[in-house]
């Protein structure tokens, strides 16, 4: 994948981290969906990319065959830190989801709406007088952190600038700088959880993380709690920044849709859903194929046939058509459109 016009080589020379892929994202994905059910990559440990909806769906639903326990990252950088519960399988994964879920229900999120509106207003006030803004930096990258760090995982306000800076480097900075920034946030969260462990409980998500869950019949280790906090932080920020940026990009390009929405707020929900599909913030999650030896004995569906061709257990990647049909798609190696707005 050296040049934009070399889409044909994507099937045999795919690289999720290649900037060319990010820059030609739509074309590359269209090409993969249309011409390449399973792409192959020699990068890092090597992996296959499933590009058809049915294959990706089956892969995502069968954790025994396609495990998350070895991590979601396809070609992890040196010193990569895993995140939980993402990098785990049931029953441990289920134990964590059971205690985390109440903080992410529709009702729990509804209760944050007024805060979100207030922060959005404050951010707009800061640049409204200028008559222009850099939408991602001035707005979309700020809003999720304000909600997360003030209401879901509340950290001391003074820590926010440093935290935001490292999160920004991890999410949008040069690839070589990302792992160290991730490490700094990990160290920060470790100290933060230690301080909260010694303080009065507040009945919030942090207390639930500190209480922990069982792993193989024993209380889970301390480190796992830090990895949980890390997942909540990184899961929640660049994803939402990306989704909001995609939305504003479409509205800027298609004023008729913007006018339509202003005239009928009932369509807003659909617009948000469609934006997340069109500009999926998460485009490919890695799974480790533990099924290769078994698939020859299974009924030969299209998916099984594809898996049969994977002669040894290895990494698989979910991408392309998946993003159009469900919310579960991936690339925490985040791409983000930068958009300038003028008025």
Measured CA to CA, the distance from residue 7 to residue 148 in angstroms comes to 39
Output the smallest distance, CB 109 to ligand HEM, in A. 9
Indicate which single residue of 136, 146, 155, 276 sits in contact with ligand HEM (rule: CB under 6 A): 276
Is 71 an interacting residue with respect to ligand HEM (CB under 6 A)? no
By C-beta, is 128 or 272 nearer to ligand HEM?
A: 272
Query: Judged by CB, which is closer to ligand HEM: 97, or 258?
Result: 97
Nearer residue to ligand HEM within complex by CB, 128 or 324: 324
Nearer to ligand HEM, 11 or 281 (CB): 281
For ligand HEM, the binding residue among 41, 51, 68, 333 (CB under 6 A) is 68
Measure the CA–CA gap between 329 and 72, rounded to whole angstroms: 11
Number of residues that bind ligand HEM (CB under 6 A): 22
Partners of residue 214 on adjacent β-strands: 219
Ranges within 149-168 binding ligand HEM (CB under 6 A): 152
Tally of CA atoms within 13 A in the half-sphere of 166 that contains its CB: 18
Question: Which residue is associated with the tokens 């820059």?
Answer: 23
Q: Pick from 163, 188, 330, 331: which binds ligand HEM (CB under 6 A)?
A: 330
Considering the rule CB under 6 A, would residue 97 count as an interface residue with ligand HEM?
A: yes
Minimum separation from the CB atom of position 324 to ligand HEM (A)? 13
Tell me whether residue 193 or residue 285 sits nearer to ligand HEM (CB atom). 285
Nearer to ligand HEM, 20 or 271 (CB): 271
Asked whether position 33 contacts ligand HEM by CB under 6 A, the answer is: no
Stretch that binds ligand HEM, among 23-31, 114-122, 276-284, 291-299 (CB under 6 A): 276-284
* Angle at alpha carbon of residue 216, lines to 215 and 218, rounded to 5°: 65
* Bridging pattern class, strands 47-50 and 66-67: unpaired
Q: What x/- string results for residues 107 through 136 when contact with ligand HEM is judged by CB under 6 A?
A: ------------------------------
Residues 228-247 that bind ligand HEM (CB under 6 A): 231-232, 235-236, 239-240, 243
CB-based burial, 40-65: b 16+ in 10 Å, e otherwise: bbeeeeebbbbbbbbbbbbbbeebeb
Shortest Cβ 124–ligand HEM spacing (Å): 21
- Give the x/- contact pattern for ligand HEM in 182-221, rule: CB under 6 A: ----------------------------------------
Rounded to whole angstroms, the Cα distance separating 251 from 342 reads: 13
CA-based nearest residue to 315, from 47, 63, 11, 43:
47
Q: How far apart are CA 327 and CA 273, in angstroms?
A: 9
CA distance 343 to 329: 34
For residues 173 and 175, what is the distance between their CA atoms, to the nearest angstrom? 6
Residue 31 contacts residue 57 (beta carbons within 8 Å) = no
- Answer for which of 66, 72, 172, 186 binds ligand HEM (CB under 6 A) is 72
Of the candidate spans 33-41, 191-199, 322-330, 333-341, the one that interacts with ligand HEM by CB under 6 A turns out to be: 322-330
328 binds ligand HEM (CB under 6 A): yes
Nearest to 141 by CA among 110, 114, 157, 119: 119
Checking 185-194 for CB contacts under 8 A at 24+ apart, the result is 185/230, 185/233, 185/234, 186/81, 186/226, 186/230, 188/159, 188/162, 188/163, 189/226, 189/229, 189/230, 189/233, 190/226, 192/155, 192/159, 192/229, 193/225, 193/226, 193/229
Residues in the chain: 343
| Identified binder of ligand HEM from the candidate list 248, 281, 303, 315, rule CB under 6 A | 281
Please name every residue paired with 289 in a beta bridge, in sequence order, or none if there are none: 66
Q: Which residues bind ligand HEM (CB under 6 A)?
A: 68, 72, 85-86, 97, 148, 152, 231-232, 235-236, 239-240, 243, 276, 281-282, 285, 327-330
């Amino acid at each position: 994948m050296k040049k934009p016009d070399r889409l044909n080589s994507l099937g045999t020379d795919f690289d999720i981290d290649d900037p060319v892929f990010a820059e030609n994202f739509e074309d590359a994905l269209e090409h993969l969906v249309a011409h390449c059910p399973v792409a192959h990559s020699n990068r890092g440990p090597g992996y296959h990319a499933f590009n058809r909806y049915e294959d990706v769906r089956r892969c995502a639903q069968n954790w025994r065959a396609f495990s998350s326990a070895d991590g979601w990252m396809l070609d992890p950088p040196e010193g990569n830190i895993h995140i939980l519960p993402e990098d785990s399988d049931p029953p441990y994964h289920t134990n964590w989801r059971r205690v985390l879920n109440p903080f992410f229900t529709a009702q729990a999120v509804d209760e944050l709406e007024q805060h979100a509106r207030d922060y959005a207003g404050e951010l707009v006030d800061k640049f409204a007088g200028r008559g222009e803004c850099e939408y991602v930096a001035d707005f979309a990258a700020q809003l999720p952190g304000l909600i997360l760090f003030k209401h879901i995982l509340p950290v001391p306000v003074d820590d926010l600038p440093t935290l935001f800076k490292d999160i920004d480097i991890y999410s949008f900075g040069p690839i070589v700088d990302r792992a160290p920034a991730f490490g700094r946030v990990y160290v920060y969260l470790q100290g933060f959880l230690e301080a909260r462990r010694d303080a009065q409980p507040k009945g919030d998500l942090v207390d639930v993380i500190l209480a922990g869950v069982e792993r193989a019949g024993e209380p889970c280790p301390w480190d796992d709690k830090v990895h949980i906090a890390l997942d909540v932080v990184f899961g929640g920020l660049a994803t939402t920044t990306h989704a909001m940026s995609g939305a504003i990009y479409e509205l800027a390009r298609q004023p008729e849709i913007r006018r339509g929405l202003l005239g009928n707020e009932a369509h807003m929900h659909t617009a948000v859903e469609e934006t997340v599909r069109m500009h999926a913030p998460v485009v490919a999650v890695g799974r480790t194929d533990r099924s290769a030896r078994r698939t020859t004995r299974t009924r030969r569906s299209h998916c099984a046939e594809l898996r049969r061709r994977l002669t040894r257990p290895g990494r698989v990647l979910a991408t392309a058509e998946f993003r159009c049909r469900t919310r579960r798609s991936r690339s925490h190696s985040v791409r983000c459109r930068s958009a300038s707005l003028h008025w």
